[in-house]
Structure 1
């Protein structure tokens, strides 16, 4: 059989490829709160300078003094930096008095309730639109190098949680003897180390991730102090405290627990196992809650129910995938593992899948909400990919259960495997000693000599004796490996479990991206709210005849406004003679008035494009309503007329 090193190399390469594809070069995190309204509105033209700007989001957000900036046409900041929160999801910032006419820019950068940064900008005008030299600094919150590092840190933290909790659960619930196996200990300790390091890194990067996006701000202690006062900072700090308790748990599990097992005191082992199980469950649930209290589960509908469900979901993932990883390591690295341990893990994995299915179904309904969101949003499509991967994982797990059944049957009726009989009916491979032999192998006399000398212990040279002892240990290890590899059932189980682990790596990466993607329900609600704020009636086309009364003064104006909504529009005018040919008049102007709101007239002077064709872009329709559209046409120095027509826009 091939050595395990290439297989683990392939698994690592798969991990790097998936992580790179999903995290490297990623765009800023999808906004989990959307701007659904503002006053003044986007593209609005107001006659008097407002005293404040108000922003309404789809959910509550976290703001600071610099979260909202208002810039005048010259790019000078004109807000007072005082952010108010009058009600619900509406926030305000005050403006200085005596503002000039022209176009103003509103830039915002906030943090949504589920911990993700949101940024954007829009314009409104006082009096009439104007040119603006306002420059919005590169809003790199959630993106760039820091965003990529933060995403990688999230992946490592999930992986560490899975290994820590799942590995410890595997030892306590399935394989107590594994507590004394070094490779198994390394799985659990490695999980704790990864989770601790990732949590510290996330805490340091948090301020830059939601703010400037600069690498230099990662070690800004003032910024770290601000992070500690936020919900996400509190969650990460709590996670570090719980990891200190987890370190004590690991010390007892791999210290006192192993020692009691070696002493053979069954009562003490039973009491200690119960204590570790209770304490470990509390710590694991607490660690899971640090995600639930700060991310998707903490916002939206039924948050009180969603958070404990999310904790159960995380624990089920850890018990399945973490236990799977520990089993894989045991199959490849441990001298032996009892068939009963594999059977017990098979039952644990089945229960975990049931819990995952129930909690995942509830979470999917809560986060997606509709079939259209399932296929029409990024979150929904990622969720479908995740479900597909889980289905593949369950299929491979079914194959693993078949191998487990064969191992159980083999253990119940001991048989010779590769001419080497196992020592125990409940052991996948024997813990061989110096008396073990493999009749199918021929051991040369050169191999036997150092074993005999070492066993006799007659060498007077201590260095030679130590060398022979090492040779004997190496030969024993090699013989144990040959015996393990000769077991076809163990070989088959190892291959299927390795395949499960490979799929699990991809699944965990997709899950990490899913947790940083805007939920489908939120995205659709935000789109609906935005559509309501920017009502659209579709492209508007008007045909207005005119007659200036002078020679060659008759014709028709064709006016198109596209897309015919509040906000930015493009206007096209076509002036035609009675015979339908283009009429190249000296001047044409348009004015829009909404009497019901005392808005206007808003004058538009289009640019000549070709004979009889004029155009204007950036035409602002501030609000929906029944607008009066006046077109002034001049056919000579003294002949001109203004014709009008009413049209509903929005």
Structure 2
């Protein structure tokens, strides 16, 4: 093996390393197996319905409710209601309750019969279509159940999405790594031979075109599925995918044009590197907009920063391994290039960890959700791979910077096997990132800690004792009762009007039903509850003297979802992960200051030690 082989693992050495090869193959097989389990859930899921499938109700429902794991698009909603004789009923659909609750209204009072509801929705995130049927009886027992929810996308389509997504993300990772390494070499003004740099520029151009191809192929496959209906174009516009995809393709084409120009010139300028960095950042922001993350621009910015740091770190390891393997006989330059990459890699890891904790609280509701869902298991695998890669990077840092552990020895490049193993771990991290992007997050009403729901509550506003009750306190038609009693005798004045706002329903006018002493009265109104969970409640009691009394509180409507059994904890993770992210950010900043001072002290006290050519490097 040539001297340059000390920094790269040859194919012959790989073939001779039996245990390492078996371990890597087993790891890849495990990742693919877990990835397949995650992709199987990469579609919207019907959480519950009211009425439920096969249920018989005595009174005709005023509305039908469907809850999904992901927000569907408004344009992709397709519902049809008919009785057992095939008679169709008009029905209208709208989306409420943070986008996951579909409310069906507009049908007349249903007579005594058995009904079938055929529904179809399109996910707002990945454009996958889910369809099914719901059978319920009104006054008659439903003798059969509807067809279970199923996706139009088959196994081949989901696997194709993962493969194309992985190619897209891996190619983007190599581009990010190439930009970082090129910037380090330009800043350090290393006399790197032209052949390795030409090969790297060609590699970057090839991966740029691979990104365009993967994005086009994946978008075309998903769009063909969404456009298979009359509302296909409206679905694309409603989901926002059409605009984001068009902008992303423009950005990717601009990246390819810039890479081709640099390849023809045979050099990379600072202006070109800065332009490429901005284009890649724009690509990551547009990519984050198509993910399952929610929470507004701040969450999307955190996700884009998380992706940028992860792809730069992994891609930098890949590009750096390729570059140093093509520098035979230049050990000193090889060590210096790896050392230059160290601070950038450490910053990427710090940003990756902090933003990862923030996103985990957004995407995973509880610890039980992390342990018992495909998303949580895929996240655990990704964290394990990233942890091993971080440990390997720490080992590299100790070899490259002996002053970190106060050792007086020359700096050494990472071992050749470690240089080959690190990119493989990075490939696994990228693969699990694609699986996570295609798997519904472990959040939603089914993971929420049950809110204490009561159907009656007492309040006091000024001199008024107000008792509010809502029955049956569930989505659909309910009766709102309000008892108003003055604690003063004699009462300052009778209640003349009573209005209420509940959730999105405003201007509810209650009528008086009975009265006791002066100032005591009961009011009621029928309301159609549209959502579940905590809803703002506002009650205004009007009177001539001393003026209107206003009650502002929160009313909880139970979701009706069966509570999950608690395995470890059902407490929300978000407060803990956010606190851990803040603490880690402060510790990382402090560690950076300490390491910078130690590095300067080492260069003064031990001049030449860290720059001396190593001896006996593997």
Q: What per-residue deviation string (whole Å, max 9, x for no partner) do you get for residues 408-431 of structure 1?
A: 9xxx999xxxxxxxxxxxxx9xxx
- SS in structure 1 of the partner of residue 102 of structure 2: strand
Whole-Å separation in 1 of the counterparts to 2:39 and 2:307: 26
Whole-Å separation in 2 of the counterparts to 1:304 and 1:209: 28
The residue that corresponds to 1:374 in the other structure is: 370
- SS in structure 1 of the partner of residue 242 of structure 2: helix
The residue that corresponds to 2:285 in the other structure is: 289
Taking the TM superposition and a 5 Å limit, the aligned residue runs for 1:98-113 are 101-113=112-124
> Which of 134, 144, 148 is residue 159 of structure 2 equivalent to?
148
For normalisation by structure 2, the TM-score amounts to 0.60
Taking the TM superposition and a 5 Å limit, the aligned residue runs for 1:206-605 are 206-208=222-224, 223=232, 227=236, 230-256=239-265, 258=267, 272-273=269-270, 275-297=271-293, 299=294, 302-335=295-328, 338-405=334-401, 492-522=414-444, 524-525=446-447
Kept after mapping to 1: 8 A contact 2:55/2:137? yes
The residue that corresponds to 2:481 in the other structure is: none
Kept after mapping to 1: 8 A contact 2:205/2:260? no
Q: 1:84 to 1:395 in 2, by over 3 A?
A: closer
Q: 1:133 to 1:245 in 2, by over 3 A?
A: same
The residue that corresponds to 1:128 in the other structure is: 140
Kept after mapping to 2: 8 A contact 1:80/1:95? yes
Q: What per-residue deviation string (whole Å, max 9, x for no partner) do you get for residues 84-108 of structure 1?
A: 3477544344677696744333343
Kept after mapping to 1: 8 A contact 2:164/2:218? yes
Whole-Å separation in 1 of the counterparts to 2:119 and 2:425: 40
Whole-Å separation in 1 of the counterparts to 2:343 and 2:260: 27
The residue that corresponds to 2:519 in the other structure is: none
Residue 199 (structure 2) pairs with residue 190 (structure 1): no
Displacement after TM superposition at 1:286 (Å): 0.7
Q: What per-residue deviation string (whole Å, max 9, x for no partner) do you get for residues 23-67 of structure 1?
A: 5587643455654553x4544434565576343446642143653
Q: What per-residue deviation string (whole Å, max 9, x for no partner) do you get for residues 581-610 of structure 1?
A: xxxxxxxxxxxxxxxx9xxxxxxxxxxxxx
Q: 1:106 to 1:186 in 2, by over 3 A?
A: farther
Whole-Å separation in 2 of the counterparts to 1:528 and 1:114: 27
Displacement after TM superposition at 1:126 (Å): 2.0
- SS in structure 2 of the partner of residue 521 of structure 1: coil
> Which of 62, 76, 90 is residue 73 of structure 2 equivalent to?
62
Q: 1:532 to 1:388 in 2, by over 3 A?
A: farther
- SS in structure 2 of the partner of residue 110 of structure 1: strand
- SS in structure 2 of the partner of residue 255 of structure 1: helix
- SS in structure 2 of the partner of residue 373 of structure 1: helix
- SS in structure 2 of the partner of residue 520 of structure 1: coil
How many residues align? The count is: 433
Q: What per-residue deviation string (whole Å, max 9, x for no partner) do you get for residues 337-384 of structure 1?
A: 543322111221111111111111111122224333333433333322
- SS in structure 2 of the partner of residue 295 of structure 1: coil
Kept after mapping to 1: 8 A contact 2:173/2:312? yes
Unaligned runs of 5+ residues in structure 1 are 212-216, 262-271, 415-427, 429-488, 534-565, 567-596, 598-622, 625-650
The residue that corresponds to 1:199 in the other structure is: 215
Aligned-residue CA RMSD (Å) = 4.3
Whole-Å separation in 2 of the counterparts to 1:8 and 1:223: 50
The residue that corresponds to 2:33 in the other structure is: 21
- SS in structure 2 of the partner of residue 109 of structure 1: strand
Kept after mapping to 2: 8 A contact 1:404/1:493? no
Whole-Å separation in 2 of the counterparts to 1:35 and 1:532: 20
Kept after mapping to 1: 8 A contact 2:56/2:139? yes
Q: 1:372 to 1:139 in 2, by over 3 A?
A: closer
The residue that corresponds to 2:88 in the other structure is: 78
Whole-Å separation in 2 of the counterparts to 1:528 and 1:34: 19
Whole-Å separation in 1 of the counterparts to 2:244 and 2:219: 10
- SS in structure 2 of the partner of residue 296 of structure 1: coil
The residue that corresponds to 1:166 in the other structure is: 177
Q: What per-residue deviation string (whole Å, max 9, x for no partner) do you get for residues 152-195 of structure 1?
A: 11111111111112222221234674886233124312321221
Displacement after TM superposition at 1:18 (Å): 5.6
Whole-Å separation in 2 of the counterparts to 1:383 and 1:523: 20
The residue that corresponds to 1:581 in the other structure is: none
Q: What per-residue deviation string (whole Å, max 9, x for no partner) do you get for residues 433-478 of structure 1?
A: xxxxxxxxxxxxxxxxxxxxxxxxxxxxxxxxxxxxxxxxxxxxxx
Whole-Å separation in 1 of the counterparts to 2:97 and 2:383: 39
Kept after mapping to 2: 8 A contact 1:73/1:134? no
Unaligned runs of 5+ residues in structure 2 are 16-20, 455-473, 475-525, 527-559, 562-618
Query: Higher Cα Rg: structure 1 or 2?
Result: 1
- SS in structure 1 of the partner of residue 215 of structure 2: helix
- SS in structure 1 of the partner of residue 386 of structure 2: helix
> Which of 5, 11, 16 is residue 5 of structure 1 equivalent to?
11
Whole-Å separation in 1 of the counterparts to 2:29 and 2:433: 15
